Amino acid sequence: MNESHDKRSTSTVSSTPPEGADVEDLGHDVSDTFYTSQRKGSHVFRVRLDATGFTLQRESPAGTIIKEQQVRILDIVGARCMRPKKSRRLAMSGACACSSGNPNSPAISASGDHRGTATTPSKCSISSRNDPAVGDGDVSAYLYVFAYVLKKRSLRTELHRERTVLTLRFRSFDTFEDNMREADRWYRALRWQLHRTMEEIFVAPTSDERRRRVLVLLNPKSGSGNAREVFNMHVTPVLNEAEVPYDLYVTKHSNFAIEFMSTRVLDAWCCVIAVGGDGLFHEIVNGLLQREDWAHVLPHLALGIIPCGSGNGLARSIAHCYNEPYFSKPVLGAALTVISGRSSPMDVVRVQLQSRSVYSFLSIGWGFISDVDIESERIRMLGYQRFTVWTLYRLANLRTYNGKISYLLRDQDSPEPGRSSGGYGGQYRLQSSRSCNTHIDKLTANPSLHHSSTEYLPQEFADVISLETSINQSFRSRCDSWLSGGSRRSFYYSISESIYHSLADESEFSGLAAASLENRQQNFGPSSELPDLSEPLLKEDGWMVEEGEFVMMHAVYQTHLGIDCHFAPKAQMNDGTIYLILIRGGISRPHLLSFLYNMSSGTHLPEVNNEYVKVLPVRAFRLEPHDNHGIITVDGERVEFGPLQAEVLPGIARVMVPK
Ligand SMILES: Nc1ncnc2c1ncn2[C@@H]1O[C@H](COP(=O)(O)OP(=O)(O)OP(=O)(O)O)[C@@H](O)[C@H]1O
C-alpha cells in the first residue's frame, strides 16, 4: 500500500483517546483532514495518529465514513518530514485547488494562527530551508511514514511483510516553514508513539544523554560470503528509516568477536547485532561472558542476529517463537526485529569441557548431526544444501559411538521435586577471576579511551564503518524514492556515505588481544553448580544414566537448529530446559531416515520415549564418551573431544525479538 494524502485544512490537535491510553498520552494524538485527488475524483480522509497507529477514514460528501484503513504502530518503523525536490511533476501538482496563494484554499485563513506557534523546528525543517536544491514555488511539506505490513499473496502462501509508504502532504500555509512545522508536529507525535513501544534499554533516557547506538558485528565469511552485500542492501535501509544509529565492525578473523566483546568499553551501545551465522553469535555471547563485568553488561545489552550464515538456527527460532514470517524475507524480518526495541530473556548453557568452559545458546552435539555439521564444511559452497547431501552420505555410512550420559531432569519432571542440590534460583555468583591484565587494564587506565564515539575508540579494530543515520544527509540523497511512492522500487543511498576508519597499525592490538585471551582464566562468567567434571555424579542427587552405543546425542534449547530443522518443537527461549535427544545404536536405517526426514516439520520425536529414541527435558547433563575420537560441537562449532558437562543458566542473556 502506498498512500499519498494532501492536507486541506488545519484542525485538531487531539481528540478522543484510544482505548487504553492514559491521560499523559492525549497531547500526542494528532488528527486532521486530508484529501487525495485521483482521476476518478477527489476523496476526503480523516487521518488520525494515536497509540494504535494511523487510522485513515474516507468520508462521503455527506460526511459519513465509507471506508477505513489502518497502519498499525507495530508495523511502522519510522518517518521523515521533507520538502519536495525540484521536479516538473511537483511543480504541476502545486497548482491544485488548495495550494498556497489560492484565495479559496482553507490554508489561507488557517496560516495566520499558526505562524506564531512556539513549536521547535526539527532538524529536517531547518536544513531543508537552506537547501538550494529545492523549491520551485511548492511550499508543501511532506511526511513519509515507513511501515512493513503483513500481507498474504494467496491463501496458500505464507504471510510476508511488504514495505508501505504513507505520504501526507502539508500545504495549508503560505510558507514552507509553516507547513514543515505542521509536518514536524506529526513526525514528533509519531516518534513519541514509537518510543513508547520500546523497552527502556533501547531509548536514551534524556535528550542530554548521547543517543545509545547499535553495535553491528559482520562476518564477511559467513554462509556463502555475501553478508556485506546483504547488510548494505537489506538492513541499512531499514536502520535508516528507523533512524537507528549504528557502528559497523567487520570481523577480520576467527575469534575477532570474542576479543571485541570481551575487551571493549560497551557503554555506547544498547544492543549488539551479529550479521552472520550462529558461530558469530556464539563468539559474541562468549566474549560477553569473558568480561569481568558480565553480570552488569548482560542485562543491559540486547543481542540480535541478521541471518547470513549457513545454519541460522537462532534467527529461525526467534521468528518461530513470535509467529513472525521467515521464509519469504528472512533478512527483512530480522532487520525489523533488531529495530523493534523489544527483547526477551534467553537461556544460556554453561558447558564445562576438560580444558575450559564455553557458553552456548543453541546446542551441544555428539554423533550423527555433529558429524554432518562439521564434515560437510568441505562442501560449504553448496550453502544450506550441504547438510542434506552429507546427511545422506552419513546415513549410508552409519557410525555409532560408545559412551555414558548422565542427566538431571528439570524440576517439574524430576522424581524428587524440590531437592536442594543444584537449585538454580537465577542467582549466579561472580566467579573469582584473574583480571584481564592486558587490554582491559589498558582501557580502564586511560579515561580518554572511554569516549564512546567511534572517532575516539581505541584503534584496534580495522575495517570500521560508522554511520550516523542523519535525516538530512542520508535521506536527501534518495529523494526520488518517495516521489515514485513505489515501495518496492525505492532507491536507497549506498554505504559509501559511511565513514571508514582505516587503521594504519593494528599489530600492537593484535598482540595485546592475543595475550589478553591467553592470560584470561578459563573459569569466567557465572560459577557452576555442578560437581567438578572429574568427580562422580551421585544417584542420591537425582542423577540418572543412559549408557551404551549411540548414533547421536543432541542437546538443544532453541526450537530450530537451522532454517529447515525444527528440532525441539517444545523449546522456549527462556524455559530453563535443555532438550536432550538420544538415538541409540541398533536403530534401523528406515527409522533413522524417517527421524531425519521429519526434522523439518518437527514431527520426528516420539510422543513417548522408545527403545531407540528418547527426549529428556533436563537442566544439566554430563557426556562421557568411551571412544577416544569423534566430533563434539557446541552451537555448531567443533570443540575438543572428551567428557563434558552442561547446565542451563535460565534467562541470563537478552535477545531481541519482534514486536
Ligand atoms: N573474517 C573472518 N574470517 C574467517 N573466519 C571468520 C571471520 N569472522 C568470523 N569467522 C569465523 O567464522 C565462523 C562461522 O561464522 P558464522 O557462524 O558467521 O557463519 P556460518 O558458519 O556460515 O553460519 P552458521 O554458524 O549459522 O552455520 C565463526 O565461528 C567465526 O569464528
**124 pLDDT higher than 50:** no
Q: Which of 12-21, 330-339, 445-454 comes out lowest in average pLDDT?
A: 445-454
Handedness of CA 180, 185, 191, 194 (dihedral sign): negative
Residue of 217, 222, 258 with the most ligand 1 atoms within 8 Å of its CB, for mutation: 222
Residue 43, C-alpha cell as written in the block? 476523496
- Provide Rg for the chain, Cα atoms: 28
Closest atom, ligand 1, to C-alpha of 313: 26
- pLDDT, residue 616, reads 97
The answer, yes or no, to whether any atom of ligand 1 lies below 6 A from the CB of 252, is yes
Residue of 219, 260, 463 with the most ligand 1 atoms within 8 Å of its CB, for mutation: 219
- Alpha-carbon distance 56 to 68, whole Å? 6
Closest atom, ligand 1, to C-alpha of 274: 18
The answer, yes or no, to whether any atom of ligand 1 lies below 6 A from the CB of 253, is yes
Buried b (16+ CB within 10 A) or exposed e, 272-284: bbbbbbbbbbbbb
For ligand 1, atom 31, the nearest C-alpha belongs to 254
Highest mean pLDDT among 188-202, 427-441, 482-496 belongs to 188-202
- Alpha-carbon distance 192 to 197, whole Å? 9
Q: Find all residues with CB under 8 Å of 529, minimum gap 6, and list them.
A: 422, 423, 424, 620, 647
The answer, yes or no, to whether any atom of ligand 1 lies below 6 A from the CB of 219, is yes
- Ligand 1 center to residue 257 CA distance, Å? 10
- Ligand 1 center to residue 568 CA distance, Å? 24
Using an 8 Å Cβ cutoff, are 151 and 108 in contact? no
pLDDT higher at 465 or 111: 465
The answer, yes or no, to whether any atom of ligand 1 lies below 6 A from the CB of 637, is yes
The answer, yes or no, to whether any atom of ligand 1 lies below 6 A from the CB of 419, is no
Residue of 217, 221, 310, 361 with the most ligand 1 atoms within 8 Å of its CB, for mutation: 221
Mean residue pLDDT across the chain: 76
- Ligand 1 center to residue 634 CA distance, Å? 14
Residue of 280, 312, 379 with the most ligand 1 atoms within 8 Å of its CB, for mutation: 280
Closest residue by Cα to residue 235 from 42, 537, 498, 37: 498
The answer, yes or no, to whether any atom of ligand 1 lies below 6 A from the CB of 223, is yes
The DSSP code sequence of 564-585 is TB---TT--TTSS-EEEEEEET
Highest mean pLDDT among 102-106, 409-413, 630-634 belongs to 630-634
With a pLDDT cut of 90, the percent of the chain lying above it is: 53
- pLDDT, residue 27, reads 60
- Alpha-carbon distance 321 to 337, whole Å? 12
- Ligand 1 center to residue 58 CA distance, Å? 52
- pLDDT, residue 111, reads 31
How would you classify the pairing of strands 213-218 and 141-152? unpaired
- Ligand 1 center to residue 282 CA distance, Å? 10
For ligand 1, atom 3, the nearest C-alpha belongs to 253
- Domains in the chain, start-ordered, CATH in brackets? 2-197 (no CATH), 213-341+434-519 (3.40.50.10330), 357-426+526-656 (2.60.200.40)
Q: Which of 96-110, 200-214, 221-235, 278-292 comes out lowest in average pLDDT?
A: 96-110
- pLDDT, residue 281, reads 97
- Ligand 1 center to residue 148 CA distance, Å? 30
The DSSP code sequence of 57-102 is EEE-TTS-EEEEEEEEGGGEEEEEEEPPBS-HHHHHHTTSTTSTT-
- pLDDT, residue 502, reads 30
The answer, yes or no, to whether any atom of ligand 1 lies below 6 A from the CB of 325, is no
CB-neighbour burial class of residue 644 (10 A; exposed 0-12, middle 13-18, buried 19+): buried
- pLDDT, residue 60, reads 83
The answer, yes or no, to whether any atom of ligand 1 lies below 6 A from the CB of 636, is yes
- Ligand 1 center to residue 219 CA distance, Å? 6
**456 pLDDT higher than 70:** no
Task: Please state the rounded mean pLDDT for residues 67-89.
Answer: 82
**471 pLDDT higher than 80:** no
The answer, yes or no, to whether any atom of ligand 1 lies below 6 A from the CB of 117, is no
- Ligand 1 center to residue 281 CA distance, Å? 9
Closest atom, ligand 1, to C-alpha of 380: 22
Task: Please state the rounded mean pLDDT for residues 460-480.
Answer: 33
For ligand 1, atom 10, the nearest C-alpha belongs to 254
For ligand 1, atom 11, the nearest C-alpha belongs to 254
Closest atom, ligand 1, to C-alpha of 250: 1
Q: How far, CA to CA in Å, does 472 sit from each of 128, 130, 221, 491, 494? A: 8, 11, 33, 16, 15
The answer, yes or no, to whether any atom of ligand 1 lies below 6 A from the CB of 279, is yes
Handedness of CA 470, 471, 476, 478 (dihedral sign): positive
What does the angle CA 276 – CA 646 – CA 556 come to, to the nearest 5 degrees?
A: 50
Closest atom, ligand 1, to C-alpha of 220: 1
Type of residue numbered 548: G
How would you classify the pairing of strands 637-639 and 578-584? unpaired
The answer, yes or no, to whether any atom of ligand 1 lies below 6 A from the CB of 222, is yes
The string of pLDDT tens digits covering residues 511-542 is: 445 445 555 545 578 889 999 999 999 999 99
- pLDDT, residue 126, reads 26
- Ligand 1 center to residue 46 CA distance, Å? 51
Task: Please state the rounded mean pLDDT for residues 247-271.
Answer: 95
Closest atom, ligand 1, to C-alpha of 562: 26
pLDDT higher at 173 or 347: 347
**What is this structure's pTM?**
0.77
